[in-house]
């Protein structure tokens, strides 16, 4: 006969099972046990003898410190550290007096240059506006009908999508010649 432990797995480890393997009847076994218990001075030893050996110790794979951090948590920590300035900021730039004056001169020169460009642009735009104004006045004089057609509200007119923004270098196909009227 076979005896099963509480998990339903066949027990082979304990001497009791070995005895059972030899198909010794239960009555005989209990008799034997009762004799041995009586004969033994300590009942505990017998209990230990019956209990299966099921605890095994393996080598430690995790250190005591990192045992609390899962890979997911570690990933979040890395991602946050990417955004943080800690340990990533360069040393402060300390310019000598001479370098500081040089830097300020460069910035002033650039600002002056930009002001000149801006002024040129403003003047050009002003001239163009005045010329439009003049043209419209002349048109009103010579042809009120054309003036009426030209002088309509065009607010909301937008640049077409096909108008290309200038780039540093030309595209592979420079111009779309094959356009056909739709």
Partner 1 sequence: MSATAKTVLSKNVPIRANLILSRIPLVVPEQTKMEKQYHEYQNQLERRLMWTFPAYHYFKKGTLSEHKFLSVQNKPISKVPGVWYPKGIPDIQHGRERSKVQEVILPKSETGEGTNLTRPVEKNSIVTPADESGNTASLERRLRNTLYLLVNYKKTGWNFPKFEIKDGASLDIIAEDGLRNIGGENMNTWTISKKPAGVVKNKDGSCDFFIKSHILAGKFDIAKEAKNEIKEYAWLTKEEIQEKLNKDYFNETEYLLSK
Give residues in contact with partner 1 (CB under 8 A): 78-79, 81-82, 85, 87-91, 93, 106, 109-110, 113, 124, 127-128, 131-132, 134-139, 141-143, 146, 149-152, 154, 157, 159-160, 162-164, 166-172, 174-181
Minimal distance, residue 16 CB to partner 1, in Å: 50
Characterise 23 by phi-psi region: left (phi > 0), alpha (psi -120 to 50), beta (else).
Answer: left
- By C-alpha distance, which of 113, 106, 151 is closest to 133? 151
Structural tokens at position 121: 């642009």
Minimal distance, residue 170 CB to partner 1, in Å: 5
Minimal distance, residue 60 CB to partner 1, in Å: 20
| Contact status, residue 1 vs residue 20, Cβ threshold 8 Å | yes
Give the residue with the Cβ less far from partner 1, 55 or 167.
Answer: 167
Give the residue with the Cβ less far from partner 1, 7 or 180.
Answer: 180
Minimal distance, residue 65 CB to partner 1, in Å: 17
| Contact status, residue 49 vs residue 2, Cβ threshold 8 Å | no
Give the residue with the Cβ less far from partner 1, 51 or 111.
Answer: 111
Between the alpha carbon of residue 87 and those of residues 74, 83, 90, the distances in Å are 18, 11, 8
Minimal distance, residue 145 CB to partner 1, in Å: 9
Residue 110's H or E segment, with its range, is helix 97-142
DSSP state at residue 179: -
Q: Which residues have C-beta within 8 Å of that of residue 26, sequence separation ≥ 6?
A: 1
Which residues are paired to 10 by β-bridges? 4
Give the residue with the Cβ less far from partner 1, 2 or 167.
Answer: 167
Give the residue with the Cβ less far from partner 1, 60 or 180.
Answer: 180
Give the residue with the Cβ less far from partner 1, 32 or 146.
Answer: 146
Minimal distance, residue 104 CB to partner 1, in Å: 13
């Amino acid at each position: 006969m076979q005896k099963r432990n509480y998990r339903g797995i066949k027990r082979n480890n304990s001497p009791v099972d070995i005895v059972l393997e030899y198909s010794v009847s239960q009555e005989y076994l209990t008799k034997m046990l009762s004799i041995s218990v009586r004969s033994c001075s300590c009942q505990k030893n017998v209990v230990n003898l019956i209990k299966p050996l099921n605890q095994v110790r393996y080598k430690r794979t995790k250190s005591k410190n990192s045992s609390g951090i899962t890979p997911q948590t570690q990933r979040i920590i890395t991602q946050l550290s990417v955004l943080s300035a800690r340990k990533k900021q360069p040393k402060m730039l300390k310019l000598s007096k001479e370098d500081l004056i040089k830097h300020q001169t460069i910035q002033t020169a650039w600002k002056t240059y930009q002001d000149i460009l801006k002024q040129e642009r403003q003047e050009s735009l002003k001239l163009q506006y005045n010329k439009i104004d003049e043209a419209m006045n002349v048109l009103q004089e010579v042809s009120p009908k054309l003036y009426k057609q030209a002088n309509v509200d065009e607010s909301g007119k937008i640049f077409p999508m096909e108008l290309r923004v200038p780039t540093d270098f030309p595209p592979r196909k420079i111009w779309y010649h094959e356009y056909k009227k739709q």
